[in-house]
């Protein structure tokens, strides 16, 4: 049986990535789920929905993990689908520190690889695998408002998201037929990343109190709600018309 839609999502073990993976499943979809940790509930849901699931545990913050993932996709991706979606969701907010304390070279390197390098590499893999087909391709890079407005303590995180925005603009200006792409800020979500943020010291992250207040006042969007908005937008006719986008424009 031919596959109508192929969807690749990174960071599917928890948070927004897990929610998007769960919601995209249907009988016409083959999902490639990539994460450092397994998500057993996703396999059970795929069986229930009649969807085809291929899951890979890989660390996209390392060159070795990225190479393994690319080789896996190159061999496993169906070549006859009508639609291909890539959602580069995996990311890290760490290291969080003021500029004079950003001295962990390994943490910086891993953040650059995960937040930017993995997205670039997976885009290349998808495009190369589908260039010869007549299928529609859609690429969504999960960005952040931190890449468009500087936040003290987020020098690395903001720089990686700004780089992802720039890469998406470059991708759009190149000649890739039947491709729509966007770099999308998802808003403030009640996710594991938010838990990491709330555990920081004010000396490293001066905006800490604002995030504590958002959590205390229940102003954070749920991963499930945000995932639904994102997937609806990604499947719409307007997707890609705004390259540097924000899901809150469509609520």
Per residue in 52-108, pLDDT (tens digit) is 999 999 999 999 999 999 999 999 999 999 999 999 999 999 999 999 999 999 999
Q: Which residues pair with 195 in a beta bridge?
A: none
pLDDT digits (tens, 9 = 90+) for 193-226: 999 999 999 999 999 999 999 999 999 999 999 9
What's 31's domain CATH number?
3.40.50.720
pLDDT at 226: 98
In a domain, 46, yes or no: yes
Q: Is the pLDDT of residue 1 over 70?
A: no
Percent of the chain predicted with pLDDT > 90 = 99
Domain count across the chain: 1
Task: Confirm whether 250 is a catalytic residue.
Answer: no
pLDDT digits (tens, 9 = 90+) for 19-43: 999 999 999 999 999 999 999 999 9
Alpha-carbon span 95 to 91, nearest angstrom: 12
In a domain, 199, yes or no: no
- Average per-residue pLDDT for the chain: 96
In a domain, 27, yes or no: yes
**HEC letters along 186-208:** CCCECCHHHHHHHCCCCCCCCCH
**Which residue, among 75, 82, 108, has the nearest Cα to 4 in the 3D structure?**
82
Q: Is the pLDDT of residue 3 over 90?
A: no
Alpha-carbon span 96 to 231, nearest angstrom: 30
Q: 8, 20 in Cβ contact below 8 A?
A: no
Alpha-carbon span 77 to 6, nearest angstrom: 8
Catalytic residue among 84, 157, 167, 250: 157
């Amino acid at each position: 049986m031919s596959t109508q839609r192929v969807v690749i999502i990174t960071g599917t073990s928890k948070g927004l990535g897990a929610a998007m993976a769960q919601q995209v499943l249907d009988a016409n979809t083959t999902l490639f789920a990539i994460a450092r940790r397994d998500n057993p509930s996703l396999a059970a849901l795929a069986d229930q929905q009649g969807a085809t699931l291929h899951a890979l545990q890989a660390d996209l913050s390392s060159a070795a993990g990225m190479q393994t993932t690319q080789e896996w996709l190159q061999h496993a991706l169906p070549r006859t689908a009508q639609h291909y979606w890539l959602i580069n969701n995996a990311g890290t907010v760490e290291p969080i520190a003021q500029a004079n304390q950003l001295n962990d070279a390994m943490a910086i390197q891993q953040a650059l690889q995960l937040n930017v390098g993995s997205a670039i590499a997976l885009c290349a893999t998808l495009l190369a695998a589908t260039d010869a087909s007549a299928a529609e391709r859609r690429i969504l890079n999960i960005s952040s408002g931190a890449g468009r407005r500087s936040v003290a303590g987020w020098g690395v995180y903001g720089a990686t998201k700004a780089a992802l925005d720039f890469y998406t603009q470059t991708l759009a200006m190149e000649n890739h037929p039947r491709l729509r792409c966007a770099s999308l800020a998802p808003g403030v979500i009640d996710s594991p990343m938010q838990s990491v943020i709330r555990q920081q010291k004010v000396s490293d992250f001066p905006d800490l109190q604002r995030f504590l207040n958002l959590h205390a006042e229940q102003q954070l969007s749920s991963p499930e709600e945000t995932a639904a908005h994102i997937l609806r937008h990604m499947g719409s006719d307007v997707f890609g018309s705004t390259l540097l986008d924000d899901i809150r424009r469509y609520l």
